[in-house]
A and B are shown apart, each in its own frame.
Chain A
Amino acid sequence: MSTNNEKRKTYYESIIKQGYSRRDFMKFSTYMAAFMGLESSMVGQIAQSLENTPRMPVIWEHYQECTCCSESFIRSDHPIVADIILDRISLDYTLTLMAASGHQAEAAKQETMKKYKGEYILCVEGSIPLGDDGNYCCIAGKTAKESFLEAAEGAKAIIAWGSCASNGCVQAAKPNPTEATPIHKIVKNKPIIRVPGCPPIGEVMAGVIVHVVAFGRLPELDRLGRPKAFYAKRVHDSCYRRPYYDAGLFAETFDDKNAKDGYCLYKLGCKGPMTYNSCGTIKWNNGVSYPIQSGHGCIGCSEANFWDNGPFYERATKVPGLTEEGLADDIGKVAAGVLAGGLAVHAVAANISKRKELMSRINRGKSNEKNIDS
């Protein structure tokens, strides 16, 4: 909007203009370095980048989603994140927080896309429905797909916020009536950072975006396109209840003594052992707690298809393709029983069918026994 016509301020200028002190700014830089897992010598580099880099234009699109990613982001624990990064950074276009609306807002978006072609960052919150010509999600007369492809065209990089944009999340769960599709399946020719989670941790989102603006390049990504700094470890491997797991001490129900004593929630269906996220280290709500610390197992919200990966409160292996009663061990036990029965029947049938052969051999063997010489 208005900022588009001014000379772009640096992040530092914006921060100071908002009434923060240099001390606040340095604290913020230090926080960010810590979240990104950088060493302390990098703090200066972050500060310097933010001082000298002009504000990066950002378009933040909302498609099929619940806005929990934005909610999480504005609650990340340093106020500068919300005030400056979100406010300044995404001022260009974000349905939830921008002041403008209607044609005015769309015009601002078009202007940013034109003026900063190849420079702006496209943040996407939500999946894109492809079913029925994409009519399940339309904004300003365009389908989500049209709008996304248009915005992606001139983007420098795309950030997929949350499980919707990264994996499809709940609306992509079976039977996926709207054909909700994560964005990496729609656009292939742009660098995409996937930041899964329902929602992702606010500090993780801030860390990713600060990395992009401070260093001018994408953070190091793993094979699934997630930033390694935040998604390299399983929740399980950084869980404070891990010693109970290694000891073999498990809560059996949510109200037993073991649960009260803080034992591992593995048997209550905790999905921490399969889920890559930073919940165990960065935690939630300004580092207060995270699901497991609050006595509830991880539901694996940052993993693909987490709604279809079996029950949340049971430790069971679901057979893919079977929707009900499809637990591998139940099927396995029945199949093993049937197989054992089949083998027993075969053994009996073999004795009947091959009786001549068997009897002749037995008789030969017996006659040989009679002729033993020494």
Chain B
Amino acid sequence: METRNFKRVMVWELPVRIFHWINVLAIIVLTVTGFLIANPPALLSSAEATNLHTFGIIRFIHFTAAYIFFFVMILRVYWAFNGNQFASWRAFWPFSKKNWNNFWHVLKIDIFLLNEEKRNVKNISIGHNSVATLSYLVMFFIALIQIATGFALYADMSGWWLPKLFSWVIPIFGGDFMVRTIHHISMWLFIFFSMVHIYLVFYHDYIEGRGEVSSMFGGFKFVSETRLKKAAKFHDKEIEEK
């Protein structure tokens, strides 16, 4: 029994991590305040309306988080064109044979939990696996739906041009009712996604043992030495030994 040698590889660069964690925070805040706005709890207060602004504050937090959610997404799109190979839009491109081979592999091994006779280390994705990229792509479009419907509902209250850019959304659906319904239902998709996402991150960390969870904090994942070029191995070794 031989222990495999691993190298530390910078997979998630700082902008990706910043995007990830701000996005996490924004989604949590948006979901919680969104539920409160949809179904506000009874307020036990005898104060006059003049002296209270509770619901206004909840809405303010929701709108602020929405702006942050929107701008951090722009940052991520920018980084898809400037980041490393794992952040690049190419990593998310679904129309390649390689991608679908990996997709079926992940589906077989990680979702349906089958075992391979002979393990090929190259089947393990260093960055996102193909099932993950597809789910992020879907979430990206759902996020666009949330942004469009959310800002469309917000546009009439705003004097700024940015939310007003989305005011064309309302007439498409005939009115606020349907737009609000879509906004509310899409939020549930974020909840479902988050559950599966968190579970699978834990699962991969547990099954593969390459630091999947910690990678989103430090940016490093452990990659089998055999997957690196020879020259890199020596170079890395010198540094490691110091």
Contacts and interface: CB of A to CB of B under 8 A. Distances in A.
A150 interface: no
B70 to A, nearest CB: 22
Interface in B55-78: 55-56, 58-59
B49 interface: yes
What are the 5 tightest A-B residue pairs by CB atom distance, in nearest-first order? Answer: A248-B54, A274-B176, A247-B52, A248-B55, A304-B174
A179 interface: no
B49 A243 contact: yes
A135 B50 CA distance: 57
B69 to A, nearest CB: 20
A361 B206 CA distance: 10
Contacts of B17: none
A249 B181 contact: no
Nearest to A351: B206
Nearest to A350: B113
Nearest to A303: B175
Interface string B35-52: 000111011010101111
Contact of B181 (A224, A304, A315, A328): A328
A368 interface: yes
A347 interface: yes
Contacts of A232: 156
B199 interface: yes
Chain B contact surface mostly: helix
B232 interface: no
Given A353-B114, A356-B115, 13 more contacts: A224-B171, A245-B55, A246-B52, A246-B55, A248-B45, A250-B43, A267-B39, A303-B174, A303-B177, A317-B181, A336-B191, A339-B196, A354-B115
A339 B38 contact: no
A273 interface: yes
B3 A332 contact: no
Contacts of A305: 174-175, 177-178
B1 interface: yes
A273 B176 CA distance: 8
A319 interface: yes
Interface in A219-235: 223-224, 232-234
B170 interface: yes
B175 A304 contact: yes
Contacts, number: 142
Contacts of B56: 246-248
Contact of B192 (A244, A300, A339): A339
B121 interface: no
Interface residues of B, number: 48
Given A328-B185, A354-B113, A234 B176 contact: yes
A228 B195 CA distance: 44
7 contacts: A274-B176, A332-B191, A339-B192, A343-B199, A346-B113, A350-B207, A358-B206
Chain A contact surface mostly: helix
B207 A357 contact: yes
Contacts of B3: 364, 368
A367 B1 contact: yes
Contact of A249 (B2, B49, B168, B206): B49
Contacts of A248: 40, 43, 45, 52, 54-56, 58
Contact of A246 (B2, B49, B199, B209): B49
A237 interface: yes
B175 A244 contact: no
Interface in A224-278: 224, 232-234, 237, 243-250, 252, 266-267, 271, 273-276
B1 A340 contact: no
Contacts of A252: 42
B128 interface: no
A276 B157 CA distance: 13
A244 B49 CA distance: 5
Contacts of B40: 248, 250, 266-267
B8 interface: no
B196 A317 contact: no
A335 interface: yes
B84 interface: no
Interface in B166-184: 167-168, 170-171, 174-178, 180-181, 184
A307 to B, nearest CB: 11
Contacts of A223: 167-168, 170-171
A232 B53 CA distance: 25
B209 A339 contact: no
A266 B49 CA distance: 15
Interface in A165-189: 167
Nearest to A353: B113
Given A318-B181, A320-B181, A247 B53 contact: yes
A244 B40 CA distance: 12
